[in-house]
Structure 1
Amino acid sequence: MRNLNKLIPIEAAHQFINEHFPNCQGALLAGSVVRGEATETSDLDIVIFDNNLSSSYRESLIQYGWAIEVFVHNLTSYKQFFEMDYERARPSMPRMVSEGTILKDDGVIDSIKKEAMDILSNGPKEWSKETINTKRYFITDALDDFIGCSNRAEELFIANTLAELLSEFVLRTNRQWIGASKWILRSLRNFDERFSNQFVEAFDIFYKTGNKNQVIQLVDYVLHPFGGRLFDGFSLGKS
């Protein structure tokens, strides 16, 4: 049922800032409402920069008819989150900052946005040959389990693991950002829409019919430029 007391996003965000962080130096509204992708269950992602705080924190609450996720930082703590996101190749914080609509700015937002956009444009660090081979091995292992499995319930979960490993491999070997949940597909589409369609089709056919052929072909296609499947001769941690 529609919430008749629900404010429009920008109004709700401004009211939230005025009530909870009136002395902050900067604030942004980010997430799906800014990208024009909001659904009935979307929340408001609000990023706060307040130099009166000693440390960062995250909080969830419901106000003005909205579920609100607030990410609170001082003027240096956000850098640690930028760095962590860079290391894991999932740029959640830089993305929120770069795309965010300014709610308040005492002259700090431009430089922080530039930092975020520089991180995003440069992409994650390149994988080493050792990392690529390790990932090849684990994809091969999951694929072997997938091919050999005849238990439908187990197949579903193996397929999920294989999809995550394969999407990560495609993106990271091309120095692209990765994602989780819905951001797996969004990251693939941002990189190569045609490949992302093939990826979805292969797994969709398996989930609907149980036919594994397109998933197997997709994995072999992705691994081929890097030497294909890897099992024989692989070692990890051997001195």
Structure 2
Amino acid sequence: MALSKRLEPLEAVKRIIDERFPACDAAIVAGSVIRGEGTATSDLDIVLFERERQASYRTSFFAYGWPMEVFVHSFHSYENYFESDRERGQPSLQQMVSEGTIVRDAPELKRIREEAKQVLLEGPDLWSESVIREKRYFITDLLEDFIGCSSRDEGIFIAGSLAERTGDFILRTNKCWSGSSKWLLRALKRHDPTIAGQFSDAFHRYYRNGEKESVIQLVDEAMVPHGGRLFEGFSIGKDT
């Protein structure tokens, strides 16, 4: 549907709840559009709560000129998602619940939003030394592949994986929330704008000119405080 035919975001959400989710007891709409940062392809993220719901689910569709992603929960099922998001260090549901705009309220919603804010404030669990050691090993493996790679095509894919793993390593070893895709860079900017700038510059240099040195330096500097590259002596599952 053409952009000119779009309803205002909140009006579109209210209508779709009335039409498709009659059991909805509370609802929050979140995302870049609600923050005033939307683009032509941005969607509306909607979190719904139904008291009688047993199993959570998500569904996506177009309505009133908007792509919509709807996450349906009970007033208790969200807890498992909060926990899994915390464990993986990417609090997507917590951010939607805490930062979004309420379009249908319920007494339980205040408690859930406060819980989401508290989780975000506390940050993810700090990685154990064994986890850091494992992450160093696999980043080292990728880095060595990157250094030795003579195929430009293969190097592009290795660099992408190296960026994701290194960015996640920087954030999680500093007890910061991480992310994937564009959310990884945004998380790095929140943590340290200087590091985020160095990160972007290093990979720009490689993708534009094939220059590897800045990427190699960036990855090495990320691991040095934790022991640097790791290969010799690493094992998984070996009996002691």
TM-score by length of 2: 0.96
- Structure 2 residue aligned with 1:118: 118
- Structure 2 residue aligned with 1:66: 66
Partner Cα distance (2:113, 2:127) in 1: 27
- Structure 2 residue aligned with 1:34: 34
Letter in 1 for 2:137: Y
* Secondary structure of residue in 2 paired with 1:24: coil
Partner Cα distance (2:106, 2:98) in 1: 17
- Structure 2 residue aligned with 1:137: 137
Aligned residues: 239
Deviation at 1:52, TM superposition (A): 2.2
Deviation at 1:137, TM superposition (A): 0.8
List structure 1 runs of 4+ shifted beyond 6 angstroms.
none
Letter in 2 for 1:188: L
- Structure 2 residue aligned with 1:15: 15
* Secondary structure of residue in 2 paired with 1:196: helix
- Structure 1 residue aligned with 2:91: 91
Deviations 1:123-146 (CA, angstroms, capped at 9, x unpaired): 111111111111111111111111
Partner Cα distance (2:106, 2:74) in 1: 13
Partner Cα distance (1:161, 1:83) in 2: 26
Letter in 1 for 2:103: L
Deviations 1:96-125 (CA, angstroms, capped at 9, x unpaired): 101110001121211010110111111111
Query: How well do the aligned residues superpose, as a CA RMSD in angstroms?
Result: 1.2
Tell whether 2:210 aligns with 1:210. Answer: yes
TM-score by length of 1: 0.97
* Secondary structure of residue in 2 paired with 1:32: coil
- Structure 2 residue aligned with 1:5: 5
Q: Is the 8 A contact 2:2 2:65 kept in 1?
A: no
1:147-226 pair list within 5 angstroms? 147-226=147-226
Partner Cα distance (1:207, 1:201) in 2: 10
Structure 1, unaligned runs of 5 or more = none
Deviation at 1:42, TM superposition (A): 0.7
Partner Cα distance (1:109, 1:136) in 2: 41
Tell whether 2:234 aligns with 1:234. Answer: yes
- Structure 2 residue aligned with 1:47: 47
Deviations 1:18-61 (CA, angstroms, capped at 9, x unpaired): 22234422100111112221110011111101112221111111
Q: Is the 8 A contact 1:25 1:108 kept in 2?
A: no
Letter in 1 for 2:48: I
Partner Cα distance (1:160, 1:106) in 2: 43
Q: Is the 8 A contact 1:25 1:107 kept in 2?
A: no
Letter in 2 for 1:75: F
Residue identity (%): 52
Letter in 2 for 1:141: D
Deviation at 1:70, TM superposition (A): 0.6
